[in-house]
Amino acid sequence: MKSIMSSAMFASLKYQDFRMTWISNMLSGCSYWTFSVGLSWLILKETGNSTNVGLVIFASMLPFLLVSPFAGYISDKYDRKSLAFLMYIFNSFFCLVLFISSMLNFYPLLFVISIAFILGVFRTIQEPTVSSLIPNQVPKENLLNAITLNAATRHGSRFFGLLIGTPFIGLNILEGGQFLLLFSFLFQLVSTYFIFRIKTKSVGESSSDEDIFSSIYKGIKYIYTNGLVFLIILTVAFHCAFVMSYESIMPIFANQGLNDSTGQFLGYLIMMFGAGSVVGNLMLSSASNNNIKSKYFVISAIGSGIFPLMLGYVGSLHGDLVFSISLFIIFLIGGCQSSFMSLTTTMIQKVVPDGIRGRIMSLYLLHAGGIMAFGNLILGNMADIVDYTWLFRLTGVAFLAYILFILSTQRRFKADIISII
């Protein structure tokens, strides 16, 4: 373990509190992805259409839009470790509730949507709170390394969670979705222990006499008066709207395009996205200078548009190799998208002062998660009307056009990226 932590790629793991945060985030991420895939599959098999899958995903992400500003205020007002621990406990409880209800074959759509929304609220508070802890756990020179390792575990948890959970589907002891919901609860429960072990004390600068709306306004004003922060968040919003809103159409891609009848192929697709995320972020964490990191930004941004476009064409093919090629493209999408998000998160963390970081990170998540909520709802509905392969193609082209426009016209933006990362 010491030899691993001494390498440049894992430098920030030598700090114990960050190590506990890192492990906890890994397990919590495993919980989220086994929950998301398991629930999506149960809904698709129960109702037979992707519109309902889109509604559930929308409900789970809607809190990013509704709760994020308040989550940032809470994160800056109270001890972040205690707040995160409380959110982990609530998440564990409701994951257990959903698993038990699935075992009783009780999952009416309104009930499932309600649970998904409640879990989304807790996650919306949890994410900026935990993210705001990290800069207080490692020296500034290790911050990019810590953030990319944290992103590697968060995105890579798609791989590890489903790697552990998906093979059990083939045992036919439980329904595929039920098995994944069980693992979701177990992962979340264990992650709570590791967040409990964190000793870092971190509180923002929200004063006791500052009301919540004044605090939120202060964060919004900061974003829209800081040109660089605004452009970063705008780019993240386009990224999430066009190429990160595929959760609602992946089940139908697996079911119709790959003839998946159990949910195993869907699990493997999401797992490969996670594997690509791990590799992409580990490569990023070992980047030695700003020029290399800025090149990673450009490559990951362009790849985020090109590879979904390719997946759209592969999805329309037939034959034994379609599944293997799809897995490889999903791997590349995972690497590009997670690296892009890690780099933009690092930019925000480095630019924003500690005292308002919780609010800005929550507004960052509002633009990301809130837009993905509507993106999944729209794509889920459209997949019942048009061929889903065209959705991959059109969204890939749209983001590719945006990022090429930004990189070719906003030369100052490129210069700022090199100086910040």
Q: How far is CA 137 from CA 140, 150, 290, in A?
A: 9, 12, 23
User: Each residue of 109-131: pLDDT tens digit?
Assistant: 889 899 999 999 998 888 878 88
User: Each residue of 16-42: pLDDT tens digit?
Assistant: 889 998 999 889 988 988 888 888 888
What lies within 8 Å, CB to CB, of 195 at 6+ separation is 20, 21, 24, 81, 84, 85, 88, 130
Check pLDDT > 80 for residue 230: yes
pLDDT of residue 95: 92
User: Each residue of 261-302: pLDDT tens digit?
Assistant: 767 788 888 888 888 888 887 787 776 666 777 788 889 999
Highest mean pLDDT pick, 57-66, 146-155, 224-233, 390-399: 390-399
Span 181-200, mean pLDDT?
A: 90
What lies within 8 Å, CB to CB, of 266 at 6+ separation is 37, 40, 41, 250, 251, 254, 255, 260
Highest mean pLDDT pick, 250-254, 294-298, 352-356, 397-401: 397-401
Check pLDDT > 70 for residue 174: no
Q: b/e map of 367-391 (b: 16 or more CB within 10 Å)? A: bbbbbbbbbbbbbbbbbbeeebbeb
Q: How far out from the chain centre does Cα 77 lie?
A: 25
- Indicate the pLDDT class of residue 171, thresholds 50, 70 and 90: low
Q: Look at 45-54, 334-343, 376-385 and tell me which has the smallest mean pLDDT.
A: 45-54
User: Each residue of 47-85: pLDDT tens digit?
Assistant: 777 788 888 888 988 887 788 777 777 877 778 888 889
What is the SS3 assignment for 26?
helix
- Indicate the pLDDT class of residue 91, thresholds 50, 70 and 90: very high
Residue type, 231: L
Tokens 């090109």 belong to which residue? Answer: 306
pLDDT of residue 401: 93
User: Each residue of 303-315: pLDDT tens digit?
Assistant: 999 999 999 888 7
Q: Which CATH superfamily is domain 14-197+211-420 in?
A: MFS general substrate transporter like domains (1.20.1250.20)
pLDDT of residue 168: 65
| Tokens standing for residue 266 | 């869907």
What lies within 8 Å, CB to CB, of 138 at 6+ separation is 12, 15, 18, 145, 146
DSSP category for residue 344 = H
Highest mean pLDDT pick, 100-104, 201-205, 360-364, 414-418: 100-104
Q: b/e map of 64-93 (b: 16 or more CB within 10 Å)? A: bbbbbbbbbbbbbbbebbebbbbbbebbbe
In the chain, where the domains are located: 14-197+211-420
Check pLDDT > 80 for residue 236: yes
Using CA atoms of 324, 327, 328, 332 in order, give the dihedral in degrees to the nearest 10.
170
pLDDT of residue 208: 53
- Indicate the pLDDT class of residue 415, thresholds 50, 70 and 90: low
